[in-house]
Each structure stands twice: as structure tokens, then as C-alpha cells.
Structure 1
Amino acid sequence: MNSRDRDRDPYEKIFPAAAPDPGRGFARTWWGHAWLRALEDSALDGTQVKHGRRYARSGAVGAVSVRPGGLTAVVRDPDGTAHRTDVLVQEFTEAEWDRLLDLAVAEAGYIAALLDREVPPELAEDAAAAGVDLLPGIGDLDPRCDCGEWDHCPHTAALCYQMARLLDQDPFVLLLLRGRGERELVAELAERSTTAAGAEAESDTGTDADTDPEAPRAPADEGVPAAEVFATARIRPAALPPLPGLPQAPGQPPTLDTEVDPEPHLDVDAVEFLAQAAAAEAHRRLAEALAPGHADRPQAASLTLAEDAVRLTVEAGDFRVRSRLAAATGRSRADMELAVRAWGFGAAPGLAALEDDWTPDRTTLARARAALAAAFADGEAPVLRRVRARWTEAGTGRQLRLGREGRWWPYRREAGRWIPSGPSAPDPGSALEADPAP
């Protein structure tokens, strides 16, 4: 009998309204953050999303009804006006469910993780590779509200923020949105697991050396007595040996993919990424230390936590790690992408040109004006309007920014935001020529 013919959960779950909690975040898990990213990247008006976040924090979202294809709640304005609010999500087809469930039983640990209210990131990645997007992406959250807005309004945004909290507690809610309840899914997974285990048992005719008492075993490493180690430690060579050469590549940290479950709330992928990033940075610094003349060069300034988070984001390929780094520094994903772009043009000074809106003193401003006059002395000077250390060319989408280090950084206005458009130059004319007017 197919599991879909069995008794199933009522295809709706009701979650009570949450009390106001202004200090609490909305997502702790990577899938909760992915849900919020789908909202924040899709909404055309970021102000509406910010209002929705405040609504959710204030307890304006009533009881949330979750069912296949959508969620519903009554959301109240500050004046008490109630609005029926819906967010629709595409359900999976039967073929998509088959592919997802086959993937879930194919890897050891996936089912156990789901039953422990965890979504293995590898399962989501494998499903996406098979054409099944478990988590919503840009445009996948379809807002509906009786307030009359056609895009995300504060009410639908508040409902999405509250939903992120529910997903943190129970990822089966996401699967319910996609079309199936928890009891039905558990039954289907058990059935498929039993079938797969039976097939494997029939085809497995080999011998497991770990359980075969006759199988040869490697001798144990007896080690070195501690007394011998301490005795040889007193012997000093006449001269130190030469420094070892630089390895061709950074070392590979040990994998954390073991049979022992990680501690609660430990993001194994993030720890492995940080270990690999540390190895790469150690290799880079060792290469600098072994280079001729290193002792004569000035030491580079230490990075701040915000700067180092951008450096790590440049190296991170996993969107969950990038999202966590952005959140840890108080940046949105869009802000972090701009920061990464700025870092690519000039590392920490390039990032400072993006985020440090400083005001030059009189001496620095006088030098800047002299540099501008000299840069355009032989031709028609552009009309530049200054605000603090930023000069915007009238009638164009170009801007020059003066860094505290004295270099000029070109910027271009796109989609309502100023974005870095190239590396810095020692004079404003070179910087402006590197980014011709559109």
C-alpha cells in the first residue's frame, strides 16, 4: 500500500500568536535565514520590509495557519486595523516529491537529521541539483493582502518574519507548505528506507573485515616512550637547520564529517570553512615572511572584525556562510555584496571608501581642491558638487570619493545605489577617466 493512501495529518497546522519580543532575532538556522533572504531579496520596497519586521517584533501577527501552498494570518496595524494576509508558495509535484524522498533515503543521516528537526544543507544542495528547490528563492513568496498593496507590504513581511521563527523550530512546516504533512512524510521515508535496505542486503555478498575475526589486522603503533623524548630534548644542535620551503598550497584541515553527531547549534560547514580560510591566510602570510626584504617592509595594519568578515566573504562560496557573515556585521546581503565588490578593488582602503563617510579637515580639503584643479587644468573641468569627502559630477551617474589615505576612488550610480566602479588612483583625473561617463 502506498503511503499516500494511509491516514494522513490534517493538512493544516495552526500556530498561536507570538507575544511581543523586541530583542529576539527571527532566524537562527540556515534555512530560516534562507527564507528571510527570499523575502528581503524579492521585495521592491525595503522600507515596507523594515516596517514588517517591526510589526512582527511588536506581536502584531496573529495565529498563523500553515497549509500546502500557503500561510495565512491576521496582522494588525499600530492603530489596531486588522488585515487578512496570505503568502503563497508553490507546492511540489509528485515527480519532485519522488526525487526529494529518494535523495533523503540515499544518504545516511538525512532522515535522522530531519527527525531531529534539522535540514541537512547537503540534502538541500542535492535536491537543487536534481531540480527540486526545497527552499524558496527570489520571487517564490507570493504576497496577498487586503490592504491593497500588490507587492510585499508590512503585513506580508511581518508574516514572513514570523514564519522564519516557526521554521527554526520545525522545518517540517516548510515541507507542509510544499504539500505534505509530517506523519505522511515519516511513513514514506520509512517505507522507502526499508525497501532500499532490503535491496542492499540482497546485493551485498562481500565480507566486512571489521566483523571478520579471521581478517588480518594492521599492527598497532606503539609510539615512543616519553623518557626518550625528554632525554633527546636536552641535546641542542650546533646550528639551526635551514628554514623549510614554502608549501605549494595551503594545508587541508581535517574533515569534521564523522559518525559522531556535532554539538547542538554547531555549524560544521562554517567551522570547516573557517579552518580552510585560516590555512589559506597562514600560507599567504608565510609566503610574505619568506620573501626577500620582508623585514624592511612596514607591517600591515590589523583588520577590524567588520573588515575581516568581508575578506572571509570574498573567499566563501557557500551562501549560508556568506549570509551569516553579513548578519554578524549588521549588513544586509546587498550591502555585503557591495562590500565584497569594494574589497576586490582595494581591500581595506577600498572598503573604507564605501562605508566611511568622513569629513576632511581644512588642510586635507585644500590639498583635494588643488588636486582637482591640477587634474583638469588643460581641459574643461566637470561640475563637481561636494558632500564631505565625496564629489558628484552634475548630470552624470559618476562620483569621486577621497580616501583617508589620500587616493581617489571612482563610483557609479546604478539602481539607486552608489557602487564602486574601479580601483583607486593617486589623482582625481585618472580616477574619473577610468570610469567614463555613460
Structure 2
Amino acid sequence: MSEYGTGREPEELTFAAAAPVRGGAFTRTWWGRAWLQALEDTALDGQQVKAGRRHARAGAVGAVSVRPGRITAVVQDPDGTAYRADVLVRTLTEEEWDRLLDLAVDSAGHIAALLDHEMPPHLVEDATAVGIDLMPGIGDLEPECGCEAWDHCPHTAALCHQMARILDEDPFALLLMRGRGQRPVVDALQVRSAARAGGGTAAGAPAGAGDAPAGVSAAEAYALRDILPPLPEVPVVAQGPGEPPSLDTETDPEPGVEPAALEFLAADTAARAHRLLAELLAGREVAPAGLTVAQDAVRLAAGRPPGWVAGRLASGTGRSRAELDAATRAWRWGGAAALAVLEGSWTPDEEALARAAARLAEAWEEGEAPELSRSGAHWTAAGARAQLRLGEDGRWWPYRRAADGWAPVGPADRDPAAALTAATAEGERDEESPGSHRLSE
């Protein structure tokens, strides 16, 4: 646990030691992988890096201290011998910080991503373009260890692997290593944003930056107070959609009209309208659905209609009930994209498959990775009930064998190693999976 949220900005953050972990990808974010890539590019001996990864998996890294220019932890060898390991990182100059913050404030998306504890890739790319290396590169992770190794040893490599996990959860730790923690960065972004909005300049920004139109004087605006109508109140979204009307009346319906089906469709329409209104009022852009009839039937079935309605949806789209069950499981994990992976077929290019194979080999220790047989975009683990499926958008979907065939068991991931970890995870409880629900008979 770090010291963020204490009301003061510490010069040093301490992250508690992590429990041992086996198998799977070591880091799940692109910035965590970039950090480990810098370690692999810097270390002269790849065996030391692998030994460090085993140390980190075994939980041999103690609490990690992060401060400007340095990270520190005590790492234990398998025989119990403990060594203090340090990794040094160059801090940014004041001038570099000014340029980086100006880049960040130019995009509301950069600020939103940072506040959501994500490292926006375009910010890193823009910073690199102006000569600021935010992510470490070759030679940027300088080791110091009590074992007196002159290059990266298993102890500093283990520390770097543990730091990758920390960066997954808190990319602000990288900014602290570069010289400033979360509170100073956020405060500086707020000052610059306010200066841009008000037409002024922030401290350290060049004159003329962020100029805005002069606007209306306060006296003129006040004089118009009785002429201009008041602004309407922002509507408040109800907690949920309204109840659809009941069609259970004493009047017999027209031939071919099913009141229960109409009630279900009315409830579905109300729920969609409520969701669209909430997203629009929250400032989120709403893209049109653009679903085919077959896709919309699966979306409706995912809303758990009465059994006979589900039967009509299945027969109306040429599916059996079992096929509709599988389609709704996929829909709940990822909508139309997941459905296309379940029901579609395509042949990916060999370059994409080669990159995936290399990534999987990198993520597992020797002898730990399951053997995979490949058929087009489907990779199946030998001797396991696990499979990976590659979508045309480049994302990997985890599948597991069920009684009625292969079924998706999680959301898609750009990293095939992370998707394979989800597919091979033990102890999954189908009752809690969005894709586990079978349509009522």
C-alpha cells in the first residue's frame, strides 16, 4: 500500500511486498511491459533476468521504496541470504517537466487517463518527439546491489519485475522516479488548465500560450440579467428505467400478437433509452448500434427473456437453443465483437501469429507454458480445456471447453499471455460468469 491520499506529498512511497504468484503474464499493461523491456535491453546476461523473474514470482522481494531517481528493496535468495537492491533512474530537469506538463494539458484525454491511473501512450510518444524520455530505455535502469555484481543480478532484476507490477496499478510511481509525485503533477496540471481557460499563462509557460478571446465584461453580463432567460436545469437521470405498461388485460390480443413479447420489448427499449440518456448527460459520446437482425436477437436473448421468447429468437435467426445459449454467453463478455469471434472464421496473417507466439514464450518460464496446437485463429492448449481465439481487431479471447462446446470465459485482451492465463485459470465458478447463464426453457 502506498502513501497516496494522506493529504501530503511524500518524498518517498513504500509499496508492500507481494505474495508469491505462479504462471501467467508478469505484467498486464503496456507501460509495465515497456519497463521490463528496458531491463531486458540493459542487462548483459539474460539468465540473470530470468533468475530475477523467478525470485519475484516466489515472493522474495520485500517492500519497495520509490523516490526521485531511485527504487530500493531487500531481496532474498532461496537460501535466505538477503541483499539490498537499488535501481537508479534519471530524474527530469525543471525545464523538461515544464515541457511535459504543457504536453499533458494540451489534451483533456491525457489528464483524464493520468487521473485514472493510466499512462496515455500518445503523451509518451509526444514527449519522446520533443526529447523527453518518460519511459526508460536501454541503459536507463542502473543497478546497485549488496551482492556487488557490476551488472544486473537476480536481485536488481527481481526488483525491476516487482516494480512492473507496481506500475501496473500506479503509473504515478514512474513520475515520482522521474522527480515529481502525483500531487505536484496534478496541481501543476490544474494551474495550467485554469490559465488556458482564463486566457492567461501558467508559470513556466511562454508568453502568449493559451490566449483566449476577451469575452464579455462582468458589468455587461450583469446588465443583461433581466433580458436573457435563465439557463435550464440539468435534468437528473432516474435511478432506473420506468416500468413498461402491463398488457395483461381482459381483451384478447389480435392474432399473431404476443403481449408478453411486447412487454419484454418495451422493457428492453426503456432500459436502452435510460442508458443512452445517462451516457449523454455524463458527456460520453454514444455511437449508433448498427446491429444486424441476428446480432440484435442475441442482444435481446442476453436480457433473459421468457423461455418461449428465447425459442422464437433462436428459430427466427436459424440457431438452435444451444447455439443461442453460446451466443448470449459471448455477448455478455463483449457484445458484437465477441459474437463475431464465436461464430465467425478468418485466417490471420503469419506475422501476427509469430508475434503472439513470441509473447507467449516470453511470459512463461521454460517448461511452464502449455503446448498449443494452432488452427487458423484458434489456439488450443494440449491436455487442457483452454483455448485462445484471435479477433480481427487483434484482441485475444479466452475460451474453455464446456459440456456443449467451447465457451468464452472472459473479456478480450491485447496480450495473448494474459488471455491464456484467464483461459487456464483453475477454480472458475461458472455461476458467477457473465456467460454462464442458460436461457430458461
| TM-score, reference length from structure 2 | 0.48
Structure with higher Rg: it is: 1
